[in-house]
Structure 1
Amino acid sequence: MDDSMRFLATAGALAALLAFVAWIGDRRRMKRRNLDSVGFMPWTTIFFWSLLAAVLLLGISGRAWLGVN
């Protein structure tokens, strides 16, 4: 695997980590006790875009790693 594919795999792993953190944040928001304290982070949007980036980046680097055209 060359350096560009390694970069894509690292970026995909970081995006997956961000998606996991956003998923935890969204879950905590849904289970909060005080319904008036919503917060200001758009966890659902962050989760969606980071998961999309993770799937695309890891898919591209995985295809290159396996040698699939």
Structure 2
Amino acid sequence: MLWSASGGLAVLAVVAGLGERRRRRRRDPDSVGWVDWPTVQMLALIGLAVTIGLAFKT
């Protein structure tokens, strides 16, 4: 169960990284997005570290 959560969080972190890359490369710099991709990526990476730590502990 923890390994599945780790995989999901890893995928979320990669998707957030791609979203941030897409946001930085947009044509209209004044258009505002509603998702703060760096925060999503950081929280996913923290969750990934926690779940991997717990998975190895059990």
**What TM bracket, shorter-length normalisation?**
0.7 to 0.9
For 2:16 and 2:40, the matched residues in 1 are separated by: 6
SS in 1 for 2:21: helix
> What displacement does 1:23 show?
0.6
Alignment: residue pair count: 58
Residue 55 of structure 2 corresponds to which residue in structure 1?
A: 61
Amino acid at match of 1:40: W
Q: Could you tell me how far apart the structure 2 residues matched to 1:25 and 1:14 are?
A: 16
Alignment identity in percent?
Answer: 36
Unaligned runs of 5+ in 2: none
Q: Give the TM-score normalised by structure 1.
A: 0.74
Moved over 6 A (4+): none
The structure with the largest alpha-carbon Rg is: 1
Question: What's 2:38 paired with?
Answer: 44
Q: TM-score, normalised by structure 2?
A: 0.86
